[in-house]
Structure 1
């Protein structure tokens, strides 16, 4: 007996005498050589039986053979048995083409698969499961139940509920692998059965609708059943947020056609409305979907600006900057929107006097409801003394931006109250005059007169803070007020500024300026400045030579002309402390006058030699120097000084 593993071919050796005749395969008691394909071959000194056809244990007629080999007169019975090996792939078969499981279900399902292996050992087959949705593979598991040695029943289980709305169909791949690592595969479809667990879903919905005020508007909303396979019938209703708005919104219960009835935005003073649209399943009113719809009402320009109150009348004081305080504030209203409610505001009038130019209205623009203020912008125009301005009528005009033919108008009546409001006015509020510094008391200078436009008003004049002058309080005549202690002096004050004050009965005060230029009169003696050092003089110096000794003089008078000279009558000379005869020194010296500053109000003098000076005749000279202002009108014109000259011997 020979045992062969399942294979395509094989051989076994026959122990037959080599020197006898060739053996032959004759008859088969079991099986057939058609299935076995046995052949005899002589190799390497022995006969071998070769199996030339593949044997398959799973084919019942191939599991064993009995046949005869004849050699000469001898016959041999050969028994051949095929050994079973694991060479067939497991087979997975579903009872149905597809499997269906309800969404939200957990546990073992009714989806089953039969796994079989013709080789047997089915309990050693490893069964695995994968999904087309990789991340969802943990939703599934499998259970195996052995039927017999060749068959196993597999159940599909659900770990985590399925959701039809997320994934309605899975592609599952079931793999069965035997001990020889041969795998059988089944691709199957798992359908998720939709269950009534979803509320309606909006298929057509608007977040907002815009319409003109006072118009009818319709639009459609559509919702479908969130459970697509069930597709329940959907109805509609509206829930308003404000009961007062119930009549504005309605919806057809079946078609979802929403109707918005005319809304007067201006009356309601509201341009944004909201309501809730609700979709629900007809057979399950608890299954709903809702959404808030915003309704925006667009303004139509159906109003023009209106100015309130209807009567605007006031009395104000003349010449005063003030705000016009009416019994009710001025308000302009236009209930429209955007540029339809914007307006510009200005004042006007139809008089010849341009009354409105004295007033200002603020602001100059407005929107919807805006309060305005009228104030006086030019109080000088509000003059009761001008009869044309005593009773004023101006007009407020509000012109709409969106439509300039929309103009609101209101007349404002303004009466002026008479006041003592005028200030004194000088004919000339700044005047310049010139007078000599030597004028006397009560000398007329000028007239500075202020007048007042107010009826029966009186103006009084005065001078502020300056002695030496007086003013007639009625006529404005200004004269000098001088005495021994008060006089004009060009040298101490060449310009005098007077402030003239005019005040009326209401204490309105006005100022004028009088500038008095004091004309210089030459009346101040010159000043002489002698050096503090002693002067020395060498005897026998050449004629016209000068000594190094500078004498200075100044005079504040503007036209001063200074010149030096020597008073020989008061000049003396000594020799050894004994006075000498004038013949030794008189006219022997001279003083030269220089003007280094190019003006004759300042001079410098230098002593020069005009005749011989002899030390043996004198050694000291007391020289009297005289400086004289040649243009002096009043007072002394000269100043004297003595110079001590020390005469030195020449060796």
Structure 2
């Protein structure tokens, strides 16, 4: 009993695996809808356009349509609202008889561009079929020797519905001897058995009438009934027993007829006829199964008598009965599950859908051309299909969904290179041996305007003779386009441009279709010798493409202009000396020709060459000169006719008359002088405005310069006067001069500021060389300011100090002795080698920012008296060769014992700074002045 239950569990797992394989394809889809069977026409299925993300406005223009694999239009799409609805009533039992899950695969296809979507609609079962038993009455022969608990298999009812709508339970009418037992595997009843609760007694009751009812799980609940008549037999108490109550086997679908599937074995413990067994197929099997398999009643061999097809039925369940030969035979039962093994016996099926041809040559990579649907009825590896296309093509197959491929553009297309492709698509499954199918798809490449018209050459040159008749054909342009149709239709036009301000369209025109160029006017080489035009060739494609041709047009000259003499050489009279030597240039004639080249090459000659004249003319230059000396026999006047002719064809000429008068040499010079004066007068008249302009500009410049100098001189005098008032020099009883320690003056010398050098001379009390003992600085009348004898030598430090800034503090003290000026700091002197020379040296350690200097005279550098200034010496004077001004100021009358005489060497002062200091130190200056007055007294 345990083995029996284990066998049934194993059989349940197998059924579960088979159902999982059947529903595996159900997973791979984009949209999945569920409706019930028997739905009426127009029943709502789903909003297909919205679920697929399609715009309502484009489902009609893109031709959305539904394609079913079996070509039955169960569903349709409303193109107004994008709703998928039922078109025909669906009977699930007819459509999916042996399948638990009924799914209708649909392909939703839209064009422009082509896209395909996979949609599956699951048909839910409704309870529209009642359970039905194969027979209305069953007869069972049961021996009375059967013990209690014996089981008798019953043929279950059949319900075409699935799921909850199929058979879920059985019910047996009330009986004391029998009960009903059924087991479920995967929610399906697989075994139905009649169980005997207690032993039978034929003498009490030989026949038992039972009613078997089957119920499904639908709403409403439906049922079916059958009658079971149990006939109690006597005697035989052992029934045949199979080795296994449930046996599995497999057979390939291409097995030949007569193939042995398996051999059954059953045993009976009885002896004699009661132990002899006969194998038979159960009467409960359908006739269709009995037509496929044959059971040998003696050996138990099951053989194949009809071909199998895995794609039609994948498995068969056989019920086998083993019956002994007793008078009251007993029967043993066995289940055989025959699984059909798939073989690769079906080649792939290929369908080309939504073929979008012709393909434009500018189609981008990835553009879908067609949908290739491939299906193989086999399963497993035998049903897996691979597609490939012929090599060396600009196309590619891309898998989209299960069994669908997109034929797309994989490389740039060029119709000009190849306009038609024969694409061979081959579908091959993975079975062994593999089966394949091939289909050829013709793809035309349509032209797009991707080639510009091309001229034979980008630049061309033509020549047109002048004086051409208007409207004459001068040139024909041609261009080619590799495109076809409208894209290759070329028109020609002139690009807008001008020639000397005149539009090019006034000169030439072009026929837009033939490319012929016509001259609109008669050209004149003397007016226009060359011009350039641009011709554009444009095709009729969309957008139009074009290219340009640069045409250089040269106007060829013809001899249509005669030479002409310049006005100066028409009927002129020339006077020349009668004493001139041979070769003397008398005059020169000049003619011009508006033509060019040989047509403008002019030669000169005398018209009457037979007359003997003493003159000769140069053919190239037109110069007329003396050929020989003038004699007394020669005439005083010659009238020469000069002929100018060009080298054109025909030759054109011009004439002029030159009168040459022979005069004396003096008259010729006089004439030349008069002509020269006339030239000067003409020159003066021509340049009078230029001379006037130059004079006015020069006058303005001089006035500006004088005004600037006067203003600067006035400013300089003001600064000098301010300087005189600012410095107060006082002397004490000891003969020392010092500045007030209360006042501080700062003088700065640099490249932009004025410089000031102050030199103070103390009056000497000793007798000078001229006998002056008054203590005044005496300078002779003939005194000329110059360096001490022989000159002054400046040290390097002095030169540096003169170039630097001189800073003088008011607290500095200069003390003068009887012999001259001396400072308190030690000095470094630079003596001159000459006797009586002097030196000037700065104080040691003073640096360049100090204005204390020591002046020493003589070869031994003794202190020398300061030169005395004479009384009649002017108050201000300038040292020759020096920009400094020497100023002599007398603060006290000459009758006093001591005079305040000082010479100031100064340049421009910073008057603005001095004024600010005077305002800031007004009280200090008053005190200093009082102190100075006291010292002077």
Q: Normalised by the size of structure 2, how large is the TM-score?
A: 0.30
Q: Higher relative CO (CA 8 A, sep ≥ 6), structure 1 or 2?
A: 1
**Greater helix content:** 2
Query: With structure 1 as the length reference, what TM-score do the two structures score?
Result: 0.41
Higher strand share: 1
